[in-house]
Amino acid sequence: MQSEQLRAIQTPLKERYRTEPAAAQLTLRAEGRLGEGISCNVETAKAMVAAGLHPATGGSGMQACSGNMLLEALVACAGVTLSAVATALGIVLRDALLSAEGDLDFRGTLGVDKTAPVGFQRIRLHIQLDTDASDEELASLLKLTKRYCVVYQTLAHPPELAVERTRS
């Protein structure tokens, strides 16, 4: 996609959101249902994903791990954002390889050590670029990618979380 094409698509949206801020307020949803054994089936836009325990917590490794899915969401969002920002700035990327890794202490989630944290302590996003862009252009590209990547910003500035229970 060329910069002009992206602008043609996004300009009317941006104008509408400026004049009608409420139109930009959306609620995204995800849904899952318990599956066989210790698993949860999550409906994605393309397929049903069966999530289960990570092998470090007793899982078989045959199901998706939600921790890996979080890292995959970060890579996907950062990749799409990087591509959109590069397009908008007119930066030609011949290729980009994104990867994320996160450090966990499974003693926390298994309740082995009550002082061990549950969840990622560190997450690193790696972006390898094949481009002729200048260092200044790349600095701007990465700054704007971090700024506009929804998953990155959500992890960097956690939202208010709530759990609501109902009975069927």
Domain membership flag for residue 164? no
pTM for this entry? 0.90
d(CA 61, CA 54): 6
Q: pLDDT per residue over 108-129, tens digit each?
A: 999 999 999 999 999 999 999 9
Domain membership flag for residue 87? yes
Taking alpha carbons only, the member of 81, 46, 41 closest to residue 64 is: 41
Residue type, 105: D
d(CA 111, CA 57): 11
CB atoms within 10 A of CB 69: 14
Number of domains comprising the chain: 1
CATH of the domain at 45: 3.30.300.20
Domain membership flag for residue 168? no
Backbone dihedral angles phi then psi of residue 66, each to the nearest 5 degrees: -65, -30
- Per residue of the chain (168 residues), what is the pLDDT tens digit? 888 899 899 999 999 999 999 999 998 888 898 988 889 999 888 889 999 999 999 999 999 999 999 999 999 999 999 999 999 999 999 999 999 999 999 999 999 999 999 999 999 999 999 999 999 999 999 999 999 999 999 999 999 999 999 998
At 148, list the tokens.
Answer: 């506009």
